[in-house]
Amino acid sequence: MEATTTNARRIITAFFEDRSAAERAIGKLTSAGFPRDQIRLVPGYESTGSDTEPREIKGFWESLADFFLPDEDRYTYAEGLRRGGYVVSVTVSAEKYDDALSILDDEGTIDMDERASEWRATGWEGYRDTSLLGSAASAGSTEEVIPVTEERLQVGKRDVSHGRVRVRSYVVETPVSEDVRLRQEDVTVERRPVNRPATGDEKLFKDRTIEVTEHAEEAVVAKEARVQEELVVKKKVDERVEHVSDKVRRTEVEVEDERGASAARTKRRTGT
């Protein structure tokens, strides 16, 4: 997956080998609120027979022209299209960048660096100069052209995923038990046969009522939720300055004109 920056917005480019996965990703992006007109699907070579010819990669290369990808990445994505894959791009704001990236990851976007390594192991040559993708000059031409060219260094940025940390919380129930001692009261009524003289303090021949209430203890269970630990997930963003250096080429032309009495030789250099 690649990300390029244009003004205050970013273009995320993802590669899928299955059309249904690409369409599911588009569906989830639109459901998440991303405008459909900011999402593009570039289908690859949908073949029912043999693979497409190598020359057809030029068309896939041109279909990715406005994705603002570095030439090498663009060539890799074009090769993926040639092999029947699908490219999904979405233009997002900086605030929605992580949301879009997560949706595309969940739908199984392909790591193009790993896939390019696999292709090279089976004979794929990798990036070539795009000027080689053009058609050859028509036969029988009497004109020869030497292009005078100059390379200019263009430095851009691309976002490279270094993996993702996903923290998920869930509830686990654990059986627990504890013993508690409970008190139980029982009231009984007994008849005891006796044979003794009555005494004067027994309040004989009077109505009397005796009430005794039974009590028993029951176990009461209460649960208290206590926070034992906090898990804090943070993402720190740092910026660094990286010095980029390379070599650029230009064409120098020497013209020898020997039509006069003395040869006139000039040398021309292009560029500034």
Is the pLDDT at 267 greater than 60? The verdict is no
Highest-pLDDT range among 95-109, 128-142, 146-160, 231-245: 95-109
- For residue 191 the two structure tokens come to 């008849």
For the segment 66-85, the average pLDDT, to the nearest whole number, is 82
Whether the CB-CB separation of 3 and 163 falls below 8 Å is answered with no
Residue 191 CB-density burial (10 A; 0-12 exposed, 13-18 middle, 19+ buried): exposed
Q: How high is the mean pLDDT of the chain?
A: 77
Is the pLDDT at 141 greater than 50? The verdict is yes
pTM of the full structure: 0.47
Q: Residue 30's pLDDT is what?
A: 92
For the segment 180-190, the average pLDDT, to the nearest whole number, is 85
Alpha-carbon gap, residue 265 to 4, rounded angstroms = 48
For the segment 169-192, the average pLDDT, to the nearest whole number, is 85
Give 92 or 128, the one with higher predicted confidence.
92
Alpha-carbon gap, residue 249 to 244, rounded angstroms = 16
Q: Residue 137's pLDDT is what?
A: 39
Give 127 or 41, the one with higher predicted confidence.
41
Q: Residue 29's pLDDT is what?
A: 92
Pick among 3.40.1050.10, 3.30.70.3450, 3.40.50.1360, 3.40.50.300: CATH of 2-133+155-160 = 3.30.70.3450
Whether the CB-CB separation of 120 and 127 falls below 8 Å is answered with no
Q: Residue 194's pLDDT is what?
A: 82
